[in-house]
Amino acid sequence: GAVPPDRPLGESAEILWRRLVAEWDDLADGGCEPRRLVEHALITPACGLVGMGVTQAAHVVDLTGHVAQRVEARALELGLTLGA
């Protein structure tokens, strides 16, 4: 889950993107292939949206989409083919 809905998120997905990249960097330092991390990424909220108001849930979904777009851009930079 790249978007933690249990804390203040702000308006931009930038910090979420930086957190994800930092996690990938840690995994790569531990021996994971960075290209495969991007290739197999599935971006979701960290937990369910139950109990949230519609506006808050929509914001979480919106930020999740923005992070996913950054992952897609990174994949394209790496020359990966997206989709099945």
Taking the CA atoms of residue 65, residue 67, residue 69 and residue 74 in that order, the dihedral angle to the nearest 10 degrees is: -160
- Closest by CA to 39, choosing from 15, 70, 65, 74, is 74
How many whole angstroms separate alpha carbon 69 and alpha carbon 51?
26
Q: Bridge-partner residues for 45, per DSSP?
A: 3
Residue by residue, pLDDT tens for the chain (84 residues) are: 888 877 778 888 999 999 999 999 999 999 999 899 998 999 999 888 888 889 988 999 999 999 999 999 999 988 887 665
How many whole angstroms separate alpha carbon 41 and alpha carbon 78?
14
Please state the pTM of the whole predicted model.
0.85
